[in-house]
Chains A and B, each alone.
Chain A
Amino acid sequence: KAGVTQTPRYLIKTRGQQVTLSCSPISGHRSVSWYQQTPGQGLQFLFEYFSETQRNKGNFPGRFSGRQFSNSRSEMNVSTLELGDSALYLCASQDSMNTEAFFGQGTRLTVV
């Protein structure tokens, strides 16, 4: 069974640009969650999608958005990038809530 796939692995963007990250969950998993990981804050929850609907949202500004497609693949978008958005963005897929979350390797975003 293939794992969670995130693309791209690395990105360098300049302030003010926008970026789109992609996540393909484990086959059959309908829940996809996104996290931002930084050395100071740890793993912070961005949002979670289930069957194309956003079920939960963390405390991030509206510049952070996401969506999920009918095949459960998910994208997250960050507009008007700021230096503080530099982080490892992780995607996790779950069969349903309260089951194990399986993570991708992440996309490391650097904003310069």
Chain B
Amino acid sequence: QKEVEQDPGPLSVPEGAIVSLNCTYSNSAFQYFMWYRQYSRKGPELLMYTYSSGNKEDGRFTAQVDKSSKYISLFIRDSQPSDSATYLCAMTYTDKLIFGTGTRLQVFP
């Protein structure tokens, strides 16, 4: 079993929709949680970074962490075609940074 599981998608939604991206993990030692966005032919860029259970909001993006269920989510409100990308969750403890396989999102006009 992988330490981090992420639905690969692809996910296709209309512009303006609310998008929910999810990851589950098995190692309760993970302390820090991140979401990265990766456009085609580019390196991943950090979107959200959090270390506690609960919600963290940044503009149209909300990161949610539920440590008791070992579950993290990224919500995108009012999705835009420019949000079309692959979204990777990542988590870390001590000296390990583990990524999910990524979910490909397509937002159509």
Contact = CB atoms under 8 A, between A and B. Distances in A.
A90 B44 contact: yes
Interface residues of B, number: 24
A103 B37 CA distance: 11
Given A42-B100, A105-B43, A98 B32 contact: yes
Contact of A90 (B32, B43, B95): B43
Contact of A106 (B31, B43, B45, B88): B43
A42 B97 CA distance: 14
A104 B43 contact: yes
Contact of A41 (B49, B96, B101): B101
Nearest to A101: B97
A32 interface: no
In the complex, which range does the number of interface residues on chain A fall in?
Answer: 20 to 34
Contact of A42 (B41, B49, B96, B102): B102
B107 to A, nearest CB: 21
Q: Is the interface of A mostly helix, strand, loop or mixed?
A: strand
Given A43-B88, A97-B92, A102 B46 contact: yes
Interface in B9-42: 31-32, 34, 36, 41-42
Contacts of B43: 4, 6, 90, 103-106
Contacts of A106: 42-43
B1 interface: no
Nearest to A3: B43
A96 to B, nearest CB: 10
B69 interface: no
Contacts of A43: 44, 88, 99, 101-102
Nearest to B34: A100
Given A43-B99, A45-B98, A48-B95, 20 more contacts: A4-B43, A6-B43, A42-B101, A42-B102, A45-B97, A45-B99, A55-B95, A56-B95, A90-B43, A90-B44, A92-B97, A97-B92, A98-B32, A98-B92, A101-B34, A101-B46, A102-B46, A103-B43, A104-B43, A105-B42
